[in-house]
Amino acid sequence: MSNQVDPNQVLKTWFYRSVKLMVFVAIITTFYLIYLDAWVQQKMSGPKWQTPIKVYARPLQLYPHLYLNPQELISELKLLNYRKSTSVREPGQYKQNDEMVTFYRREFVYVDGAVLPQKVRVSFENNRVTDVETYSQNQWNQEAISMLEPLLISRESDDNNEHREIINLATVPEWMIDTLITVEDKNFYHHNGISPFAIARALLANIRAGRKVQGGSTLTQQLAKNLLLNDSRKSYIRKIKEAFIALILDYRFSKDAILEAYFNEIYLGQNGNNGVHGFALASKFYFDKPLAELERHEFALLVAMVKGPSYYNPLRQQKRALARRDLVLQLMVSDNVIDNKEYEYFIQQPMQVVNKVGQGKSRFPSYMQLVMRELKALQLPEQHEANGLLVFTGLDPVLQKNYEKLFNRSIKQLEKQHKLQDINGAVISLSLDNASISALVGDKHANSFGFNRALDANRNIGSLIKPAVYLTALA
């Protein structure tokens, strides 16, 4: 008697096994999604980034009888990258009429809170301030004192090499959001975190080309990869996890929350050892001005770099970056973000990026050595790593730059006069108003991070002792 296998029984066996396998996979996937959901919520609800310590110069206080001339004020405005204009209508602009300087102060944060944007007019006579006025309610009003925002002189981080400026989406112009969505994820407001159509389109394009020429990731998927996964490996497992996280992000958080995180997270280049993250910091790094002051063609360049910050680096790959920027402008006009007349104007504009290659260090290294030593001696609050710490110093940036130039010139004259090559020295200047150090030069090479003669050189105090001796004798 031969053994015969019942085909129906075999099918039933495979069917039940397949069902059991699918149930098992469904249970595992469900538990994994529950875990992933809790993990995503925890990551997104707490502090997302470690923001560096930001060190500022002193804010310039303007008041009647202050010893200051128009050129000194303009020098400070130029350090802050204020733009000369015939009419002062927006923050970051200034104009000069003989002995009068008018500027539109930017908003900034100081020790007692936010200082709002303000149009300010300062009058001078005989190298002194005579009047300080602010513009409100369609008229100029006399003020006892007004402040100009302090210059950012350094960002200092501990172990984290990611630098960024955190911004709220409410402060981002609507056209910038429209530009990003037009270029990177046209269906952002209509999908649930992933776009099957975009994935299929990219897959078809890649098959036709025989290599990867197009990506199908949404903005939400990009955020999942960059902020939560921090994994650049190209694998199917990573892509599946990225898709799951994108679905959870879209379900748990609003589109605006996702966009805000994206604006702050996106990587847009390298500044020395530190990554440039977020559009706000990229705006200051490449154009030396706040994000809100960018022109359409300037922001188009930043969006162009999203696809490849190194490949489209405007400092090293000018032609490539310009071509990509012009493509973004074409997409902007096709999606009615700009009109044809604006397009014709913007496409003629040069990139005009600030050359900051190799400028990952602070502006005034000698002074910053003093600041960092004092910070290390203080008991800093633990939350500074998460929330960032603002440090306001007594540095007068115009005075500092003048001393650096004067000191270097004096050293060269002495070397020529005495036929020596190893002359060096230091400069320290104190403010009479509050006894803070307003300028410090520790080497004839102003950008040197080496031995700081102002802080570390051993020397006799000489005539510095005289005021203390005389005051004691006369007391």
Looking at residue 385, its pLDDT comes to: 58
CATH number assigned to the domain comprising residue 76: 3.30.2060.10
What was the pLDDT predicted at 456? 87
Helix%, strand%, coil% for the chain, nearest 5: 45, 15, 35
Give yes or no for residue 371 having a pLDDT over 50: yes
DSSP 135-182: EETTEEEE-S-EEEPPPEEEEE-SS--EEE----GGGS-HHHHHHHHH
Among 121-130, 226-235, 271-280, 294-303, name the one with the lowest average pLDDT.
Answer: 226-235
**Does residue 458 fall inside a structural domain?**
yes
Choose the final residue of a domain: 125, 149, 173.
149
Of 122, 149, 176, the residue that ends a domain is 149
Q: Between 450 and 139, where is the model more confident?
A: 139
Asked if residue 165 belongs to a domain, the reply is: no
The span from the CA of 46 to the CA of 24, in Å, is: 33
Q: Which residue has the tokens 């044809």?
A: 340
3-class secondary structure, 370:
helix
Judge whether 47 lies within some domain. Answer: no
Strand partners, 128: 67, 125
| pLDDT attached to residue 210 | 65
Longest dimension (CA), the chain: 130
**What is the C-alpha end-to-end distance of the chain, expressed in Å?**
128
Query: Which residues, 6 or more positions from 235, have their beta carbon under 8 angstroms from its beta carbon?
Result: none
Per-residue model confidence (pLDDT) at position 156? 80
Across the range 216-223, mean pLDDT stands at 89
Q: Please check whether residue 131 lies inside any domain of the structure.
A: yes
pLDDT score recorded for residue 387: 64
- Separation between Cα atoms, residue 19 and residue 22, nearest integer Å: 5
User: For residue 447, what are the domain limits?
Assistant: 372-474
Res. 344 pLDDT band, cuts 50 70 90: very high
**Cβ–Cβ < 8 Å for 441, 427:** yes
Residues 84, 285: contact at Cβ < 8 Å? Answer: no
Instruction: Give yes or no for a contact between 148 and 76, defined as CB atoms under 8 angstroms apart.
Output: yes
**Average pLDDT rounded to a whole number, residues 327-335:** 95
Instruction: Report whether pLDDT(359) > 60.
Output: no
Q: Is residue 300 part of a domain?
A: no
Domain finish residue from 131, 149, 167: 149
pLDDT at residue 104, as a whole number: 97
What does pTM read for this prediction? 0.82
Whose CA is closest to 287, among 225, 356, 229, 231?
A: 356
Average pLDDT over residues 186-213: 77
Q: What single-letter amino acid sits at 202?
A: A
What is the reported pLDDT for 68? 95
Query: Residue 159: is its pLDDT beyond 70?
Result: no
Q: Is the pLDDT of residue 205 over 80?
A: no
Residue 156 located in a structural domain: no
- Say whether pLDDT at 338 is over 90: yes
- Quick one: tokens of 364? 């005034």
Half-sphere exposure of 264 (CA within 13 A, CB side): 20
Q: Could you read off the pLDDT of 398-417 as tens digits, one per residue? A: 999 999 999 989 989 998 88
Q: How confident is the model at residue 160 (pLDDT cuts 50, 70, 90)?
A: low
Q: Which residues contact 71 (CB under 8 A, 6 or more apart)?
A: none
Residue numbers annotated as active site: 184, 463
Q: What angle do CA 156, 167, 363 make, to 5 degrees?
A: 30
Where does the pLDDT of residue 420 fall: very low under 50, low under 70, confident under 90, or very high at 90 and above?
confident
Summarize the confidence of residues 314-339 as an average pLDDT: 94
Give me the pLDDT at residue 215, please.
Answer: 64
Lowest mean pLDDT among 224-238, 318-332, 377-391: 377-391
In a domain, 288, yes or no: no
Number of domains in the chain: 2
Q: Tokens for 67, please give them.
A: 């010893």
Residue range 35-53, pLDDT digits in tens: 888 988 888 887 788 778 8
Least confident of 183-187, 234-238, 432-436: 234-238
- Are 394 and 431 spatial neighbours (Cβ–Cβ below 8 Å)? yes
Report how far residue 24's alpha carbon sits from residue 30's, in angstroms, rounded to the nearest whole number: 10
Tell me the C-alpha distance between 394 and 59, whole Å.
9
Task: For residue 344, tell me if it sits in a domain.
Answer: no
Which residue's entry shows tokens 């990177």?
A: 184
Retrieve residue 386's tokens. 């998460």
Residue 370 has pLDDT above 90, yes or no: yes
Could you tell me the two tokens for 57?
């110069």
Dump pLDDT digits (tens) for 6-32. 677 767 778 788 888 888 888 988 888
**Structure confidence at residue 357 as a pLDDT band (50, 70, 90):** very low
Q: What's the pLDDT tens digit per position in 60-88?
A: 999 999 999 999 999 999 999 999 999 99
| DSSP secondary structure code for residue 52 in this structure | P
CB of 253 within 8 A of CB of 227?
no
What is the sign of the dihedral through the CA atoms of 47, 48, 50 and 54?
Answer: negative
pLDDT digits (tens, 9 = 90+) for 102-114: 999 999 999 988 9
Positions of E strands within 222-286: 267-271, 274-277
Whether residue 423 is predicted with pLDDT greater than 50 in this model: the reply is: yes
